[in-house]
């Protein structure tokens, strides 16, 4: 995009964000983004564990064929 790399685009977006919202809002946004990321990863991990435990329970149950 216009010969700009990812790093340059990130710097431009951060500079524009600081100009528009101020430094405090950017810090709050980054903090909230980090919290959201952590909660998302925790939820994903919990779901994966539930699926694994469900698979193990299914494997333990003998199949009932009619």
The region, left, alpha or beta by phi > 0 then psi within -120 to 50, assigned to residue 12 is alpha
Q: 10 in a domain, yes or no?
A: no
Please state the domain count of the chain. Answer: 1
Let me know if residue 27 belongs to a domain: yes
Q: Check: pTM over 0.75? Answer yes or no.
A: no
- Phi/psi for 3 (5° steps) reads 75, 20
Q: Is residue 17 part of a domain?
A: no
* Residue 65, in any domain of the structure: no
Give the integer Cα–Cα distance in Å for 6 and 27.
21
Residue 28, domain member (yes or no): yes
With cut-offs at 50, 70 and 90, classify the pLDDT of residue 61: low
pLDDT band at 31 (very low <50, low <70, confident <90, very high): very high
Would residue 1 count as lying in a domain? no
Does residue 40 lie within any of the structural domains? yes
Owning domain of residue 32: 22-54
Rounding to the nearest 10 degrees, give the CA dihedral for residues 54, 55, 56, 61.
Answer: 90
């Amino acid at each position: 995009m216009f010969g700009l790399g990812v790093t340059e685009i990130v710097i431009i977006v951060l500079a524009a964000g600081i100009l528009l919202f101020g430094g405090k809002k950017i810090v709050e946004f980054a903090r909230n983004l980090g919290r959201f990321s952590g909660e998302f990863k925790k939820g994903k991990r919990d779901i994966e564990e539930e699926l694994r435990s469900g698979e193990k329970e299914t494997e333990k149950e003998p199949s009932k064929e009619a």
